[in-house]
């Protein structure tokens, strides 16, 4: 990705945020996801008496959670003017003296002090697709020398999967041919699938720290123990803080992230004792990840 393309991606991300989060109703699925809320409430116990930067604050769910956890001050940074207006009204109405609202992008951000923690949830269904790593890389200089991100780590789990055998809604999406044409181009997110066990026959890369991750190619393998029919890889990103882990996928109703898949463009039936070899690497521009798959005898 060239510098010009990167700038275009940044502008698109701002426009996307402003278009999608155009009212408080847009935030409702996220804020009603108890799995997500429980994760952040638990990890924010670390911020008592500390200064916090909430990047991509939205309408302030994590900022309020940090204040409720005892943060000494919270800087809520948001580039969407609609959300900023809501935050300002919230601050006035609730008399939140420890909250400072800043209408800014991450790359233009200026703060009056260094912070102890940067809390963030700027990731989509594929984690990196909302310029997550790029944004955090741009703002990490706002941390104190011993400061850290919350969550601190991330990773990816890849599992062989067959969308062809999945729910009727997949088979009937428009026409099956047009759906698989989309799939062949790479990444697809399907909201209404509730997936099966994450860990069985899966390959994991990570956890990596948000401020220290490999840009070189990594490679791992698994050996099949039973027959597997696959036309895609189910991609399960996760974020982690200490022992707490949040999977970025839909495991049950009420989870606001969809499930993500990488398509092959063909169906493969694997006998037992076949090696599935997977390569993984993060692009140098930090805007996406790549994979390479090969199959062979165990």
Tens-digit pLDDT profile for residues 209-265: 999 998 999 999 999 888 888 888 889 999 999 999 999 988 777 777 878 888 776
Does residue 284 sit in the same domain as residue 178? yes
What confidence score (pLDDT) does residue 176 get?
42
Q: Is residue 136 situated within a structural domain?
A: no
Does residue 173 sit in the same domain as residue 278? yes
Does residue 261 sit in the same domain as residue 209? yes
Does residue 70 sit in the same domain as residue 187? no
- The tens digit of pLDDT for each residue in 68-107 reads 999 999 999 998 888 899 999 999 999 999 999 999 988 8
Q: Is residue 141 situated within a structural domain?
A: no
Q: Is residue 137 situated within a structural domain?
A: no
Which position has the higher pLDDT, 201 or 67? 67
CATH assignment of the domain containing 158: 2.70.160.11
What is the rounded CA–CA span in Å between residue 85 and residue 260?
A: 33
Does residue 235 sit in the same domain as residue 167? yes
Which position has the higher pLDDT, 9 or 245? 245
What confidence score (pLDDT) does residue 66 get?
98
- The model's pTM is 0.86
Q: How many domains does the chain have?
A: 2
Q: Is residue 74 situated within a structural domain?
A: yes
Q: Is residue 144 situated within a structural domain?
A: no
Q: Is residue 45 situated within a structural domain?
A: yes
Q: Is residue 128 situated within a structural domain?
A: no
What confidence score (pLDDT) does residue 78 get?
92
Task: Give the domain extent around 61.
Answer: 3-121
- The tens digit of pLDDT for each residue in 131-185 reads 899 899 999 999 999 999 999 999 999 998 877 665 554 454 444 444 444 444 4
137: left (phi over 0), alpha (psi -120 to 50) or beta: alpha
Which position has the higher pLDDT, 21 or 218? 218
Predicted confidence (pLDDT) at residue 9 exceeds the cutoff of 70? no
Per-residue pLDDT band at 272 (split at 50, 70, 90): confident
Q: Is residue 69 situated within a structural domain?
A: yes
CATH assignment of the domain containing 93: 3.40.50.150
């Amino acid at each position: 990705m060239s510098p010009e393309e990167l700038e275009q991606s940044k502008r698109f991300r701002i426009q996307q945020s402003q278009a999608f989060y155009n009212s408080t109703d847009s935030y409702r699925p996220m804020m009603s996801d108890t799995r997500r809320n429980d994760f952040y409430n638990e990890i924010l116990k670390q911020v008592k008496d500390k200064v916090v930067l909430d990047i991509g604050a939205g309408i302030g769910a994590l900022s309020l959670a940090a204040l409720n956890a005892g943060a000494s001050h919270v800087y809520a940074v948001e580039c969407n003017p609609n959300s900023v207006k809501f935050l300002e009204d919230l601050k006035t109405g609730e008399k939140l003296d420890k909250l400072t609202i800043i209408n800014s992008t991450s790359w233009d951000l200026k703060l009056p002090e260094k912070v102890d923690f940067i809390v963030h949830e700027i990731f989509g269904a594929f984690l990196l697709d909302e310029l997550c790593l790029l944004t955090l890389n741009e703002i990490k200089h706002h941390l104190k020398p011993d400061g850290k991100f919350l969550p601190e780590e991330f990773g990816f789990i890849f599992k062989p999967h067959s969308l062809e055998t999945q729910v009727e809604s997949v088979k009937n999406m428009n026409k099956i041919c047009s759906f698989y044409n989309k799939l062949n181009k790479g990444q697809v997110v399907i909201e209404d699938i509730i997936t099966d066990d994450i860990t069985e026959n899966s390959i994991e890369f990570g956890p990596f720290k948000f401020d220290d991750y490999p840009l070189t190619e990594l490679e791992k393998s698994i050996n099949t123990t039973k027959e597997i029919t696959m036309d895609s890889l189910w991609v399960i990103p996760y974020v982690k803080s200490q022992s707490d882990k949040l999977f970025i996928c839909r495991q049950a109703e009420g989870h606001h992230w969809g499930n993500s898949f990488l398509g092959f463009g063909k169906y493969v039936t694997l006998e037992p004792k076949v090696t599935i070899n997977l390569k993984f690497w993060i692009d140098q521009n930090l805007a996406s990840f790549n994979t390479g798959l090969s199959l062979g005898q165990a």
